[in-house]
Amino acid sequence: MRTATAVAAPIEAHGHNHWSPYVDNGGTTLAIAGEDYVLVASDTRQSDGYAINSRYEPKAFVLSNNAVLGTSGCVADAKRLCEVLEQRAQLYQHKHDRQISTPALARLLSNTMYNRRMLPYYVFPVLAGLDSEGRGAAYAYDAIGSMERVTNSCFGSAETLIQPFLDNQVARNNQRGADPERLLTRQEALKIAIDAFTSATERDIYTGDYLEIFIIDAAGVHKETRELKHD
Amino acid sequence: MDRYSFSLTTFAPNGKLLQIEHALAAVGNGSTSVGIKAANGVVVATEKKTGSSLIDVSSLEHMAMVCNSIGMVYSGMGPDFRVLVSSARKMAQRYIQTYKEDPPVRILVKELASIMQEFTQSGGVRPFGVSLLLAGVDDRGPNLYQVDPSGSYFPWKATAIGKNMINSKTFLEKRFNSDMELEDAVHTAILTLKEGIEGQMTEESIDIGVISTLPAAQSDGKAQPTFKRLSPAEIRDYLSNIA
């Protein structure tokens, strides 16, 4: 019996040319939660391998309920995830006649990501906002929506450099005589965030250019920008 | 399947949907249920009417908890109520899964009402033969809603549905005031039911459910308002204050 031969040779035959839907655009995001505020800091460099796509492409987005979604990973997925989340927040607002609370939005984000279990959003988000008691809340996720409420978190190309630094300086792990329960003040958190990024910029090629810092408290969302090294 | 692709509920020339009218009649044949919204909570109560003294009244469940902060009672056909309780519970859990919070009462009411309306416009089905009273506490405080077979819903301060609804509502109009505390509301609900009950009213012949805005401490330390069905002993205490 004659079988038809394939016209196009399958790419998989080689094994190393396979097309991937995912791209890592580099960059880093961190969050620190305090007693009555929460801080999100992310660099603005967008890369593709050794190429720089943009020196200023923000990775953290303010949502309509005064929460901030910090992202890292694939920028296309991050932007879409943010849009989808904002849409759901708006629908909630219309239905309930009030803003969605941060814990509810956090759960919603988790579900949104898990629904794409089989082709995940290549995003490692951190959601920051005030909880129902006015305390700073930061939620950290993996790419399929596994969530945890934290006082500090870092994701992205420099996470391995920054997270241990946060563990020691914010959570005060492995420090003799330190009080791990005490939360940072805004000034302390700001200083640590800036120091973390200036240090990471030196060592990580994908992190740098500009630093955007969002501080969320009862008064709203306040944004600051700092310069980072452009090399 | 095609044989019932059309709706059984169709307009009469006078603009009424007769199936819904008949469903309301079925509700009107059912035991009376009463609901009162107090300043600090909500109470719903119903008569557990049984045709025979041989029925084990203690296992009759007229009062259903939908989720921690919402409870539900009915007048009309018991089996139809069970189906709606099941739907309401699933709806509430879906909401909790999405937002990790109990649904506000008005949100649950709208979804339930939506389902009931579907059964007046879908092929091959009949409307539900129940009116529901939903009692719950949410971000707006205490809530009391009625949902009808048509899918219409009404927010109430105090109301009655079922056999004795007209007399009961008249009674409530005189007795209700918006500063009522939950305790007084329970008392008034019992008195309202008593007006329509033939014979003796005992802790076995009525069912009462309450939810207070003051949250009860939960095992995980987080306080949350909880819908509670009163035990026969608790009802007996209330009854002893009436006689």
- Assess whether pLDDT exceeds 70 at residue A178: yes
Its domain, for residue A75, covers 28-227
What is the number of CB-based contacts under 8 A between chain A and chain B? 21
Interface of B with A in 103-132 (CB under 8 A): 104, 107
Across the interface, which of A95, A98, A104 has its CB nearest the CB of B101? A104
In chain B, which residue's Cα lies nearest the Cα of A112?
B98
Please tell me whether residue B10 adopts helix, strand or coil conformation: coil
| Model confidence band, residue A14 (pLDDT cutoffs 50, 70, 90) | low
Across A49-121, the runs of DSSP E, i.e. the strands, are 51-54, 60-62, 68-70
pLDDT of residue A29: 98
A12 belongs to a structural domain: no
Confidence grade of residue B52 (pLDDT, cut at 50, 70, 90):
confident
pLDDT of residue B222: 64
Q: Which structure tokens are listed for A199?
A: 């240090």
Residue A1 lies in a domain: no
Q: Is residue A6 part of a domain?
A: no
Q: Are A29 and A40 in contact (CB under 8 A)?
A: yes
Q: Is B99 on the interface with A (CB under 8 A)?
A: yes
Domain CATH code at residue A118: 3.60.20.10
Collect all residues of chain A within an 8 Å Cβ-Cβ radius of residue B99: 92, 100, 104, 107-108
Neighbour-count burial of B167, counting CB atoms closer than 10 A to its CB (0-12 exposed, 13-18 middle, 19+ buried): middle
**What is the pLDDT, as a whole number, of residue B51?**
79
User: Is A125 part of any domain?
Assistant: yes
pLDDT band at B221 (very low <50, low <70, confident <90, very high): low
A5 in any annotated domain: no
How many domains does chain A contain in total?
Answer: 1
Q: Domain for residue A169, yes or no?
A: yes
CA distance A223 to chain B (A): 28
Question: Do B101 and A100 make contact, defined as CB atoms within 8 angstroms?
Answer: no
Q: Is the separation of the CB atoms in A124 and A75 below 8 Å?
A: no
CB contacts of A107 in chain B (<8 Å) are 97-100
As for the ipTM of the complex, it is 0.72
Q: What whole-number distance in Å separates Cα of residue A153 and Cα of residue A83?
A: 23
pTM attached to this predicted model = 0.83
Q: Is the CB of B98 less than 8 angstroms away from the CB of A108?
A: yes
| Nearest CA distance, A105 vs chain B (angstrom) | 7
User: Which residue(s) pair with A215 in the sheet?
Assistant: A39, A222
Pairing of strands B228-229, B206-212: antiparallel
DSSP state of B222: -
Tokens of B148: 């009808």
Measured in angstroms, the CA of A179 and the nearest CA of chain B are apart by: 24
| pLDDT at A3 > cutoff 70 | no
Q: What is the DSSP letter of A34?
A: -
Instruction: Average the pLDDT over B164-186 and give the result.
Output: 95
**Residue of chain B with shortest Cα separation from A104:** B99
Q: Considering the domain boundaries, does residue A4 fall inside one? A: no
Q: Which of A96, A98, A103 sits opposite B100 (nearest CB)?
A: A103
